[in-house]
Amino acid sequence: MNRTIVLASNNAGKLKEFSELLDPLGFSLRTQGEFNVPEADEPHPTFIENALAKARHASRLTGLAALADDSGVCANALEGAPGVFSARFAGEPKSDARNNSKLIEELAPYADKSAYYYCVLVLVRHANDPQPVIAEGRWDGEIIADARGQGGFGYDPHFWLPPLQKTAAELSAQEKNRLSHRGQALRVLVEKLR
């Protein structure tokens, strides 16, 4: 396998986070934008199908191995919503503030505010790889109505972590990377690649 992996994203934060763990293994991670790869459609109802579609798309257009992730927040009382629609829960254009407002409003009638962040990572060695490397992570918490903290993004200011008595937005970047769904999935992926 070529040691260059295309990240099926243009997110600089993800590139930095993933590179920190993959570089020591001898892999060079580059964003799909460096290869003029447009974003893939994400029409599927599950995280894994969307991540696999994004990885295959980037690999097909570059001829290289590709890594993709799909993640979101899932509220138990809402049968896992917003789930794969987390980034666009309140519609277009994407808005963290509107997404959070909608989630809080939809959870209001329920006593159960438990939720979890979920992430799946998919690495394909080539576009038709019949055995992609798959890693997942889950981070449990609760959704609170009042935003707390300045860090993170998305639902983090409303994602309460009872054992820590903090929201995800109140954690340092290092704490979040250690505890988060994405951090967990990335460590599983690294172990599989070793």
**pLDDT at residue number 17:** 83
Residue 12's pLDDT band (boundaries 50, 70, 90)?
confident
State residue 166's pLDDT score.
Answer: 97
Confidence of residue 194 (pLDDT cuts 50, 70, 90): confident
The pLDDT assigned to 1 comes to 53
What pLDDT is recorded for position 152? 83
Q: Which domains, ranges and CATH numbers included, belong to the chain?
A: 4-193 (3.90.950.10)
Placement of tokens 């951090």 in the chain: 183
State the virtual CA torsion across 103, 105, 111, 116 in degrees, nearest 10: 10
- Does the pLDDT of residue 2 top 70, yes or no? no
Q: Using one digit for the tens of pLDDT, what is the confidence trace for 107-138?
A: 999 999 999 999 999 999 999 999 999 999 99
Sheet strands side by side (includes 114-124): 28-31, 4-7, 65-75, 114-124, 133-143, 159-161, 166-167
Asked about 23 being catalytic, the answer comes back as: no
Q: What is the pLDDT of residue 175?
A: 92
The average confidence (pLDDT) of the chain is 94
The single residue of 69, 70, 129, 156 carrying the catalytic annotation is: 70
**Per residue in 98-114, pLDDT tens?**
999 999 999 999 999 99
